[in-house]
Amino acid sequence: MDEKLEEAMGHWQEMQKNKKRETAQKTTDNTHWKMDPNNVLHKGGCHCGAVRFQVYAPSNPTVLDCNCSICVKKQNRHFIVPEANFKLLKGHDSLTTYTFNTHKAKHIFCSKCGVQSFYIPRANSNGYVYDCRNYSPLFR
C-alpha cells in the first residue's frame, strides 16, 4: 500500500474513533434528560400514518448525526428524550422491532411502510431517540 494512502487511512480511522467518543459523550450527557418547563410539543410519525407519537423537547433540540452502522446507512439525524417525554398516540400494533449485535438497542419501525420513527438506544435504555425528519413541521 502506498505510504500516503496508509497515512490517510490511519488519520481517517483516528477521526472515526474520536467521533464515536464525542457521540457517546453527547448521548450520555444528563442535560438531554432534564424535564424543562420550556419544552414544547413535537408530533411525528411514519409515512403511512399508522404510527403517530408526540414528544416534549426543546423548540430547537441538539440534533446528532449518529455514526453507528445502522444509523449511517439510514442517514439518521436524531435527538434523545427521556421516556417520560414520549407518548405513542397510535399504532402500537403496527410496530416491529429490529435488533442486532448486542441486541440492546431496539430499532422500532412501522410494519406497514417500514419507516423508523424512533428507537430505544443502547446507551440510554430509559429514553427514546427520534429521527428529526419524522417530525412535522419543525425539521422539514
| Domains in the chain, CATH or no CATH each | 3-136 (2.170.150.70)
Regions of the chain short of the pLDDT cut 70: 1, 5, 8-9, 11-13, 15-35, 124-125, 130, 133-140
Question: In angstroms, rounded to a whole number, what is the distance separating the alpha carbons of residues 33 and 35?
Answer: 6
| Structure confidence at residue 52 (pLDDT) | 92
Three-class DSSP category at 23: helix
Question: In angstroms, rounded to a whole number, what is the distance separating the alpha carbons of residues 104 and 46?
Answer: 23
CB 78 within 8 A of CB 132: yes
| Residue carrying C-alpha cell 420513527 | 117
| Structure confidence at residue 29 (pLDDT) | 45
**DSSP secondary structure letter of residue 61:** P
**The model scores a pTM over 0.85:** no
pLDDT (tens digit per residue) in 36-69: 777 888 888 899 999 999 888 887 777 777 777 8
- Selection from 126, 123, 117, 104 nearest residue 48 by Cα: 117
